Every structure is written in structure tokens, then in C-alpha cells.
């Protein structure tokens, strides 16, 4: 049994949150002495916090918030661990502690080896330095010599595909270029532990695939340990043999990824109302937040019915003009395998231009839903062109498909996941007798 490279013991992280008093409404009457007394108390508390080196917070009262509480797990050498959970579950806090960016309040973390982290766009880069200079800067931070960095320099530049902009200050890079170079540096400068957050979603689809392949390579062939946070269930299941599910700062389940992710999906919110608020659901950004999916409205169901019409309207808000916009809805099983996709550009390659900022609505009408009766995870996405993702809500809620008036019994018994009606003509005729068939074979 290989030695644990990461050991997390009773890890907890507490934050203090400043809150305004609920009594500070417009209708409340406050005497002048109350205003002065409250201001003096707040100023005294802030001055005391500053002298003690604490964070200075706004608000009348302070409340404790435990982002992590009593978290325990181990990661072996060469293991790829997936981390899953809703927004606010404590995933980013955990990675920041493992990356030595944030100190824990309680417990401890033991790391055996150098850690390279990719948590946010631009993390670890100096905006005024060029791409070339930042490669050497990051290598030095990891404790590598210039000779070691030069040996991997060409590989890093080739992987990141930024040769033309290597001597340009990174502050002029797009978010996609930032991520390409940051991942290339983190993956090629020989860290024993690679920590990757959802930031990879900023890259295009081809680069994401390239990064996933590299993470698989460094774990299996080079024996490095990878921690990967994502909302993409399919990616986690294919890349990560084990997974940790964080819920409210605590580990809900830890073990084989198939079991952890299946339980996680079954606990997700079932869409039982006609309107789903996409704005509050976890998402993966692929662009620069120029567009956000706000709402999905079922106009038939839920539940949806096999073999019967399905109609849905998706609302999206654009912050600036966008070109060649495609909106899609996908249905996946609990293993994360996409079974059915509807996209706007499937109809006569229609990719409309959003000529001005504002709220837009896209309506989809399918004359016959081919999904067999079962539970499905719904993905909603929007992109520009073929690869540039604008917004994506993956497996964020579930929808149930039930039998329709003409659903065959074999489909109800899960004989198939998708059943398409045949549009061609079927014919049956007797070709020859059984005896003639046997004689012909002999």
C-alpha cells in the first residue's frame, strides 16, 4: 500500500461574518444618542480588531460561519480524487487550505511533496510580467532551478499554445489564454500534487479535453496525485476513481466515485414545478460572464411523458452583444452519460445574433419525446460558435419521464433508454419453407 501523500485530519475553517441588525429598517425611529452610541461601538470594535491583526468587518453584529467542519480523508500517491458539492459546500475553501493559501482554524493537513494549484484565473501570475517571465516565476515558487524550468519550457509553451504572445504581459491575455498557460505551468513543472478547481471550464472544449488527458497521464504514468473539483458528473466519473462529497462543510460521503456520484445525483433537486430558477444553480462558466442562463420553464409537465410533445422555454440575459449563439438542453443518466440533446443550431444551423444587451427567451418544441420512463439529469448550456461556452448548468436538477399513452411495455421495463419512432416502411413476407432452409444450409 503506497503512502498517503495528502492527510487531512479534523480540518475545520471558521469565518466571521458581519451582519446588519434586522432592526435597521426605514420605519424604525432612532434617537441621535442611539446613532452616536452605535457608531462609537462599531468604531471601537473595528479598531480593536485592527490592533489584534484580525479581519475588519462591516456590520452591527458578528456571526460565526464554519466553511469546513471536522473533515478527514487521505489521498494516496498517484490517486485522482474528485471533489463534488453544491456552491458553498466548502470545496474552494478546502483547496485553498491544501494550497497553503488559507490557514485552517482547527485540525491539520500533511502534504508530502510540492503542490501546484490552479484555483482562479490568474492565480500565481504577475500581471505586469510576460508569459515567459511568469513561467520562470512559477517554477521558482515551486522550488525548481532555472535549468529544470528550461528543460520543460518548450513543452509548456507548446501545450499552452501561446507562442505568439510569450513576450506579452499576461494582463493583456484573455481568460482562456490565462488558463491555458497556468495549467501548462502547473502540470509540467513536476509537482507531486496537482490541485485543479473549476477554472478549467474557462477554456474551450478542445483544451478541456487536452487538460483532462494530461491529468490522467500525470497520475497514471508519472505517479502524481491530483485533486479535481468539478460540477461535471461525467468528467469526474471517467477521470476520478474516488470522490469526496462535501455538503455544508462536512463530508457527506467518501469512497468509489461511482457510488458517491450516484448518491449525490439522487439527492439533487427534482424538478416538480414548471419553473426552475437556473440563476441560483451551480454552473460552469466558459466565457467572461457575458451571458447568464436565468430560468427554465416547462410548458408541458413535469413530469414529462414518453412519446408525447415536450415544450420548454429558456430565459437568458446578455450583458453585451453576442454572435452565433446556440442554446441547448441535454438529458443524462445518473452515470453522467448524455443520452439526448436538443440544440437550437440543429434546426437549419440557426445561430442567432443577440444584437443588444437584455433578456431573451428561447422556446423548444419537440413533437415526440423519445426518452424511456426514468429519472434524468438535465443540463442547460449556451455557447457562441462551436466551442466557446458562455454559460453551462450541468446536472443541476432532475426531471422524471413517465409512460405515455402509446409507450410499449418493454420500454417501461427499461428495454432501452431512448426509443425513436421509425419513419420508414416496414414489410414482412415469407421467403421459403423451414425444410427448404435446412436443405440449403446442408
* pLDDT for the residue numbered 1: 45
Same domain, 225 and 151: yes
Measured CA to CA in angstroms, residue 40 lies from 1, 115, 411, 429 at distances of: 61, 45, 71, 96
CA angle 98-100-103, nearest 5°? 95
For 34, residues 6+ apart whose C-beta sits below 8 A from its C-beta are none
Candidate from 105-109, 117-121, 294-298, 437-441 with smallest mean pLDDT: 437-441
- Looking at the chain, the whole-number percentage of residues with pLDDT higher than 70 is 73
Same domain, 73 and 200: yes
* pLDDT for the residue numbered 307: 85
Per DSSP, what are the bridge partners of residue 78?
A: none
- Residue 243 banded pLDDT, cuts 50, 70, 90: very high
SS3 296: strand
pTM for the model stands at: 0.59
> What rounded mean pLDDT belongs to the chain?
78
SS3 255: strand
Residue-wise pLDDT tens digits, 145-198: 888 888 889 988 888 888 888 999 988 888 778 878 888 887 887 778 888 876
Q: Is 1 contained in some domain?
A: no
Candidate from 20-34, 176-190, 304-318 with smallest mean pLDDT: 20-34
Same domain, 206 and 88: yes
Q: Is 35 contained in some domain?
A: yes
Measured distance CA(318)–CA(130) in Å, rounded = 32
H/E stretch holding 71 reads strand 61-76
Candidate from 186-195, 278-287, 309-318, 355-364 with smallest mean pLDDT: 278-287
Which of 235-239, 358-362, 412-416 is most confident? Answer: 358-362
pLDDT at residue 220 tops 60: yes
- Residue 26 banded pLDDT, cuts 50, 70, 90: very low
* pLDDT for the residue numbered 31: 57
Q: Is 123 contained in some domain?
A: yes
Candidate from 84-98, 278-292, 333-347 with smallest mean pLDDT: 278-292
* pLDDT for the residue numbered 25: 45
* pLDDT for the residue numbered 414: 55
* pLDDT for the residue numbered 396: 67
Q: Is 229 contained in some domain?
A: yes
pLDDT at residue 10 tops 90: yes
Same domain, 219 and 304: no
CATH number at residue 194: 3.40.50.300
Q: Looking at the 3D structure of the chain, how many domains does it have?
A: 3
Q: Is 419 contained in some domain?
A: no
* pLDDT for the residue numbered 11: 92
Owner of C-alpha cell 501548462:
184
Largest Cα span, the chain: 111
* pLDDT for the residue numbered 269: 58
Measured CA to CA in angstroms, residue 262 lies from 31, 40, 87, 236, 257 at distances of: 58, 54, 18, 12, 8
pLDDT at residue 359 tops 50: yes
- Sign of the C-alpha dihedral, residues 278, 383, 194, 266? positive
pLDDT at residue 59 tops 70: no
* pLDDT for the residue numbered 305: 87
Candidate from 48-52, 174-178, 360-364 with smallest mean pLDDT: 48-52
Candidate from 92-96, 125-129, 323-327, 405-409 with smallest mean pLDDT: 405-409
* pLDDT for the residue numbered 174: 80
Grid cell listed for 153: 519550457
Q: Is 230 contained in some domain?
A: yes
pLDDT at residue 391 tops 80: yes
Q: Is 420 contained in some domain?
A: no
- Residue 65 banded pLDDT, cuts 50, 70, 90: confident
Grid cell listed for 239: 477521470
Domain boundaries, position 304:
275-412
Q: Is 47 contained in some domain?
A: yes
Measured distance CA(156)–CA(158) in Å, rounded = 6
Mean pLDDT, range 89-105, rounded to an integer = 88
Same domain, 101 and 248: yes
pLDDT at residue 300 tops 50: yes
* pLDDT for the residue numbered 423: 56
Residue-wise pLDDT tens digits, 130-142: 989 988 988 887 7
Same domain, 257 and 216: yes
Closest to 132 measured CA to CA, from 178, 179, 166: 166
Which of 13-22, 262-271, 375-384, 390-399 is most confident? Answer: 375-384
CATH number at residue 405: 2.70.50.60
Same domain, 105 and 244: yes
Amino acid at each position: 500500500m503506497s503512502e498517503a501523500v495528502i492527510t487531512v485530519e479534523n480540518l475545520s475553517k471558521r469565518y466571521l461574518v458581519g451582519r446588519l441588525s434586522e432592526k435597521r429598517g426605514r420605519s424604525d425611529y432612532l434617537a441621535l444618542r442611539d446613532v452616536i452610541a452605535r457608531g462609537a461601538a462599531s468604531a471601537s470594535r473595528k479598531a480593536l480588531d485592527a490592533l489584534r491583526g484580525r479581519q475588519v468587518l462591516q456590520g452591527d453584529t458578528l456571526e460565526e460561519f464554519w466553511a469546513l467542519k471536522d473533515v478527514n480523508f487521505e489521498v494516496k500517491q498517484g490517486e485522482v480524487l474528485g471533489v463534488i458539492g453544491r456552491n458553498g459546500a466548502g470545496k474552494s475553501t478546502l483547496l485553498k487550505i491544501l494550497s497553503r493559501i488559507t490557514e485552517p482554524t482547527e485540525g491539520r493537513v500533511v502534504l508530502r511533496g510540492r503542490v501546484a494549484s490552479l484555483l482562479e484565473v490568474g492565480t500565481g501570475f504577475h500581471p505586469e510580467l510576460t508569459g515567459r517571465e511568469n513561467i520562470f516565476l512559477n517554477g521558482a515558487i515551486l522550488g525548481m532551478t532555472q535549468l529544470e524550468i528550461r528543460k520543460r519550457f518548450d513543452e509548456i509553451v507548446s501545450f499552452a499554445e501561446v507562442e505568439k504572445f510569450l513576450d506579452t504581459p499576461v494582463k493583456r491575455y484573455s481568460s482562456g489564454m490565462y488558463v491555458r498557460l497556468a495549467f501548462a505551468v502547473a502540470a509540467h513543472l513536476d509537482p507531486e500534487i496537482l490541485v485543479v478547481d473549476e477554472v478549467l471550464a474557462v477554456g474551450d472544449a478542445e483544451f478541456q479535453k487536452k487538460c483532462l488527458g494530461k491529468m490522467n497521464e500525470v497520475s497514471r504514468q508519472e505517479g502524481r496525485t491530483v485533486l479535481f473539483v468539478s460540477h461535471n458528473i461525467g468528467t469526474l466519473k471517467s477521470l476520478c476513481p474516488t470522490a469526496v462529497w462535501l455538503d455544508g462543510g462536512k463530508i457527506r460521503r467518501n469512497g468509489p466515485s461511482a457510488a458517491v456520484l450516484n448518491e449525490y445525483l439522487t439527492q439533487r433537486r427534482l424538478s416538480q414545478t414548471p419553473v426552475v430558477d437556473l440563476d441560483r444553480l451551480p454552473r460552469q462558466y466558459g466565457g467572461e460572464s457575458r451571458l447568464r442562463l436565468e430560468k427554465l420553464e416547462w410548458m408541458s409537465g413535469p413530469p414529462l411523458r414518453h412519446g408525447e410533445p415536450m415544450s420548454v422555454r429558456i430565459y437568458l440575459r446578455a450583458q453585451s452583444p453576442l454572435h452565433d449563439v446556440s442554446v441547448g438542453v441535454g438529458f443524462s443518466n445518473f452515470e453522467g452519460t448524455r443520452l439526448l440533446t436538443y440544440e437550437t443550431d440543429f434546426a437549419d444551423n440557426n445561430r442567432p445574433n443577440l444584437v443588444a444587451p437584455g433578456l431573451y427567451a428561447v422556446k423548444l418544441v419537440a413533437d415526440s419525446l423519445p426518452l424511456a420512463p426514468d429519472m434524468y439529469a438535465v443540463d442547460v448550456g449556451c455557447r457562441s460558435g462551436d466551442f466557446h461556452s458562455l454559460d453551462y448548468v450541468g446536472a443541476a436538477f432532475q426531471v422524471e419521464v413517465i409512460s405515455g399513452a402509446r409507450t410499449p411495455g418493454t420500454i417501461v421495463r427499461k428495454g432501452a433508454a431512448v426509443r425513436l419512432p421509425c419513419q420508414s416502411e416496414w414489410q414482412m413476407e415469407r421467403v421459403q419453407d423451414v425444410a427448404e432452409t435446412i436443405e440449403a444450409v446442408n
